[in-house]
Amino acid sequence: MTHIKTKLGRRAFIKNSSLAGGGLVLGFSWFNSCKPKVAEALAVEIEMPKEWYEINGYLKIGDNGVVTIMSPNPEIGQNVKTSMPMIVADELEVDWKNVVVEQAPLNTSLYSWQIAGGSRSISSSWENLRMAGATARQMLKEAAAKAWQVPVEEITAVAGVLSHEASGSSAGYGEMASAASQLEVPEEVELKKISDFSIIGTSRKNVDGKKIVTGKPLFGLDVQREGMLIASLVHPPAFGMKLKSFDAEAAKEMPGIRDVFSIKLYDDDYKKMAFHFTAFNELVVVVGESTWQVFQAKKALNIEWENNADITDTMTMFGNDMKVTYPAGMENSESHTAKLKELTSLNAKVARKDGNPEAAFKNAAKIIERSYSCPFLAHNTMEPMNFFAYVTEDHAELLGPTQTPEWMESAVSEVLGLPLEKIDIQMTRQGGGFGRRLYGHFMVEVAAISKRMNAPVKLVYSREDDMTQGIYRPAYYATYRAAFDADNKLTAFHVKAGGIPESPLFANRFPAGAIDNYLAEDFTVDSNITTGAFRAPRSNFIAGAEQSFLDEVAEEMGKDPIDFRLELLKRAEENPVGEKDSNDYDAARYAGVLELVREKSNWKQTEAGVHRGVSAYFCHQSYVAQVLDIVMENDMPVVQKVTAAIDCGIVVNPDAASNLSEGGVIDGIGHAMYSGLTFKDGMPEQSNFDRYRLIRHKEVPKRIETHFVQSNIDPTGMGEPPFPPIMGALANALYKATGQRHYHQPFIKERQIIG
């Protein structure tokens, strides 16, 4: 085992003598809120104890040995509600069948990273989760040693049972939990060796699985409270507009309508965090007794809108202030495309330069140049935005789906004029996130509405509301060039990438560091269309463009696509170009997933009629390589199989990780092939699924295989890394199948055989 200090020290642990049995709360990061009735509802098949003993902020133990473990982070489908408690349970040495899991509430003073974003839930909490379980285990052992008058080093803990071999003494955790609460918190604990893990690395079923398939209340839309009202919003029809006036008399007379009014969410001088912003600051609110009633009343409103002037906001991103400009005017997708193309021909900001790329291109025997683009995308979570709030004079209760509860708490506090300690935010399971619920303006909206109504309120967006109110994946554009000498060797590589309103460029990622003459440039275009994080931000475009271009370079050189990438990675590993440690990626791990996918896909042994594309990418500290197989059926491309190789460090729950791989693959194929959001005079031209195309069941791969690199490295990201590279693999396979290259998403618009 590995000794590790309980880093937060004794002052971080909270003793609570009022708990049943004199329990002890160890507040590493989280405040416990377990309630026996809730625990019983979550685990019907487990016999609930008569008495609970609080051991620490992560867990409590019942008198019969049943353990409740808190899951701290928002659950958006990535299955952390199962995986995070697995880590605690393994170090605790408890049988998983005796574990009940509860969603932890938000507590800004005691909780750690309670964010669902950046694929960091597991990686950011890995050590704390292990310490929580190990500390509880150590305290239980000390309690047993004291009771049996034997050295603690001679006590073993296995599957919830404490034993002393020499004396023949043994006891379940439930018997020692109360005694453990009287002990001092150990300054150091021993963590298990990786080879001794018994739960981590094994597949465990989703703890909410039964509730999900039987339709039990779990999600924000399921929230019901006595006296609860329903609210909905009306926003300007186009970006670049704002509210001028409205007439609500007809709507107020409709059945069930309680009130219609306008709200201004933030004062003009309010300095927002980057995740506070909303597309439209002033909105019309309709409040009534049912969703149907308020949706119908919205249609009866007579609202006048007017054009915005230029707006410049100051926002704070992780402590750094930045200016964000929203220009006046009604924007159009056609002008967006023209502007991006224009800027690729002009000088841009140099992000990285190795060697002398200008000279290499000037002296090249041959140059190939390709441009790639993608449109804005809507997140389109299956559960539209919603949240519940009940605000009184001295307290605010909020409940619903959010990826950033702590970050939004300050905005709620500001709008309500309540201190943080008077605000209670709890999380439901979420019907999708993908970055959309990082921006929790809907929490602030419902809090303001509840305060105005002096009643419990649930705010519900329609699909059209969400698709036309932001926040979107930016539109991107990138041009790649490669130079070759007379011997057809690659001598220079140049990428210039930009977007609306951000660039997708990662200047220090592969193939940076593998080519003597390398130039990376980027540019941006201001827009009043609100954009934000979308699953694997920026990577979700640049990976596909880069990997498509690398295939063209390999073809130009007459090389196998995987062999070509491995040659570059060998150079990056053995003799990297550029300043020391300037590359973001580990070339050996990158090469490892390519070698694994080559083996598992039988890369060079394809069947007749099967057309293959490969792609590999690094993001969120993980490495993914994918091979996609296409067959042609009735002149239509059909994805037959995807083989994925992933290095994400230690895999906590293989089933959950495989599910994330499969979801990323399907999501990536769908967006690259079908999805796009366009604008005309500032208005989204797609507002529901009749015009916004998502992948359909019949279009998903027939088979997806995921293989994980065996690793002792601490876990890294998994929710996002499988998503970006599949777009390149798809483009490369389509070329092999049809002879047509694809440069502009969605590919369906370029497909000659689909039209």
The predicted-structure confidence for 316-368, as pLDDT tens digits, reads as follows 877 788 888 899 999 999 999 999 999 999 989 999 999 999 999 999 999 99
Q: What angle do CA 222, 224, 228 make, to 5 degrees?
A: 135
Do the beta carbons of residue 734 and residue 630 sit within 8 Å?
A: yes
Beta-carbon contacts of 128 under 8 Å, excluding residues fewer than 6 positions away, are: 28, 29, 112
The pLDDT value given to residue 295: 98
Number of Cβ atoms within 10 Å of the Cβ of 17 = 9
Measure the CA–CA gap between 412 and 400, rounded to whole angstroms. Answer: 14
The pLDDT value given to residue 205: 97
pLDDT tens, position by position, 359-378: 999 999 999 999 999 999 99
Measure the CA–CA gap between 403 and 215, rounded to whole angstroms. Answer: 22
Number of Cβ atoms within 10 Å of the Cβ of 322 = 10
The half-sphere exposure of 45 on its side-chain side, counting CA atoms within 13 A, is: 6
pLDDT of residue 183 exceeding 90, the answer is: no
pLDDT tens, position by position, 449-479: 999 999 999 999 999 999 999 899 999 999 9
pLDDT tens, position by position, 191-226: 999 999 999 999 999 999 999 999 999 999 999 999
The pLDDT value given to residue 320: 85
Mean pLDDT confidence for 731-742: 97
pLDDT of residue 15 exceeding 80, the answer is: no
pLDDT tens, position by position, 620-643: 999 999 999 999 999 899 999 999
User: 32 pLDDT band (50/70/90 cuts)?
Assistant: very low
Mean pLDDT confidence for 104-132: 87
Measure the CA–CA gap between 202 and 465, rounded to whole angstroms. Answer: 42
User: 701 pLDDT band (50/70/90 cuts)?
Assistant: very high
pLDDT of residue 504 exceeding 60, the answer is: yes
The pLDDT value given to residue 312: 86
Burial (CB count within 10 angstroms: exposed 0-12, middle 13-18, buried 19+), residue 703: exposed
Average per-residue pLDDT in the chain?
A: 92
Measure the CA–CA gap between 329 and 178, rounded to whole angstroms. Answer: 67
Per-residue CA distances from 176 to 17, 23, 153, 186, 466 (Å): 16, 11, 17, 16, 52
**Residue found under tokens 């950046």:** 118
- Radius of gyration over alpha carbons of the chain, in Å? 28
Percent of the chain with pLDDT over 70: 93
Considering only CA atoms, which of 538, 550, 595, 582 is closest in space to residue 709? 595
Do the beta carbons of residue 417 and residue 270 sit within 8 Å?
A: no
Least confident residue range of 98-107, 514-523, 692-701: 98-107
The pLDDT value given to residue 17: 26
Percent of the chain with pLDDT over 90: 85
The pLDDT value given to residue 489: 97
Measure the CA–CA gap between 626 and 659, rounded to whole angstroms. Answer: 15
Do the beta carbons of residue 315 and residue 277 sit within 8 Å?
A: yes
pLDDT tens, position by position, 75-103: 999 999 999 999 999 999 999 999 999 99
Least confident residue range of 112-126, 383-397, 549-563, 685-699: 112-126
Residues in the chain: 755
The pLDDT value given to residue 1: 56
